[in-house]
Amino acid sequence: MKLKKWTIILSIIVFGTVNAVAQDIVPSKKILYKVVSGDSLYLHVFEPKISKKPTSAIVFFFGGGWVGGNPNQFYQQSEYLASRGMLAISAEYRIKKTHGTSPFECVEDGKSAIRWVRVHAKELNINPNKIVAGGGSAGGHIALCTALVDGLDNSDEDVSISSIPNAVVAYNPVLDTTKKGYGSEKVIGRETEISPCHQVKKNMPPMIVFHGTKDKTVPYENAVRFNSLMNKAGNKSELVSFEGKGHGFFNGSFFRKSSNDVDFNATMFDTDVFLKKLGFLKGKPTIKK
């Protein structure tokens, strides 16, 4: 009898955990923002509670080495920031696996996404001067490049509308596309053109980078160097180091299909604080570090 009782309790615990992890996160809607070479690209939008005043917005770009990946990587982050009053978006962009593209087209799409959101600020009820670019790994690279890299604009767009975000939040981003970093074989002959460490200049928007000290994909040294270059150029840049953590440590349980959100919570708490300092969020974080 006791054995049966403990079996039932264990089943409740196990299946309860699985259900908690598998709980679905769904965007409020998807909006078409770009059609290129016959391919349609969408913004996965998470709307905040109805606000009479325009809110800030954040556009996330998923990781995957510019080869693969899925917008659902940033659903959990988007859901949290929408709950804090921001319009949060996880954007699609072209990738090699499905579109046969290079990192340069990825950056072009990132710029298109930021520009589209700014052009449609009134419809989205957002402040066009409070748009954040965010992302992880290759997606973090795209977010940084929307701020740092000149050119690579789609010729069909109104380039008089800036594609530069007002802030950047990047999680273990690719920061150097030469042999000192990641992806040099994908940009042969153009190694520094979209390399954040090689594109730093004055008057860049404020940025925060989260990076694990044991990252074997994107060297931690790249993050230290980038932060130093940004500060030397007179820009506002923060590096939040996670001791002993490897690549992808920031991902939430929804994406990883896990019940552990310790590092996700820590990165989102600091993201919240960073955005509040800029006036993009109000109140205290509702997530615990």
Rg of the chain in Å (alpha carbons): 19
Whether 20 shows a pLDDT value over 90: the answer reads no
40-93: pLDDT as tens digits:
999 999 999 888 899 999 999 999 999 999 999 999 999 999 999 999 999 999
242-284: pLDDT as tens digits:
999 999 999 999 999 988 899 999 999 999 999 999 999 999 9
Do 89 and 105 meet the contact criterion of CB atoms below 8 Å apart? no
Confidence at residue 258, expressed as pLDDT on a 0 to 100 scale:
84
Structure tokens at 140: 């973090």
- From the list 204, 40, 217, 198, the residue with the least C-alpha distance to 116 is 40
Confidence at residue 18, expressed as pLDDT on a 0 to 100 scale:
33
- From the list 204, 258, 193, the residue with the least C-alpha distance to 230 is 204
Q: What is the pTM of this model?
A: 0.92
Q: Is the dihedral of CA 135, 106, 257, 79 positive or negative?
A: positive
Q: What is the mean pLDDT of residues 24-35?
A: 98
Which letter does DSSP use for residue 99 in this model? H
Whether 15 shows a pLDDT value over 60: the answer reads no
Confidence at residue 81, expressed as pLDDT on a 0 to 100 scale:
99
Structure tokens at 215: 């990252």
Rounded Cα distance, 125 and 147, in Å: 23
Rounded Cα distance, 160 and 166, in Å: 16
Do 80 and 268 meet the contact criterion of CB atoms below 8 Å apart? yes
Do 125 and 87 meet the contact criterion of CB atoms below 8 Å apart? yes
Q: What is the mean pLDDT of residues 8-32?
A: 61
Whether 39 shows a pLDDT value over 60: the answer reads yes
The amino acid at 96: K
187-246: pLDDT as tens digits:
999 999 999 999 999 999 999 999 999 999 999 999 999 999 999 999 999 999 999 999
List domains and CATH numbers for the chain: 27-277 (3.40.50.1820)
157-179: pLDDT as tens digits:
999 999 999 999 999 999 999 99
Contacts with 237 (C-beta within 8 Å, 6 or more apart), sequence order: 206, 207, 208, 209, 226, 227, 230, 231
Distances in whole angstroms, Cα of residue 187 to Cα of each of 12, 66, 104, 179: 51, 11, 8, 11
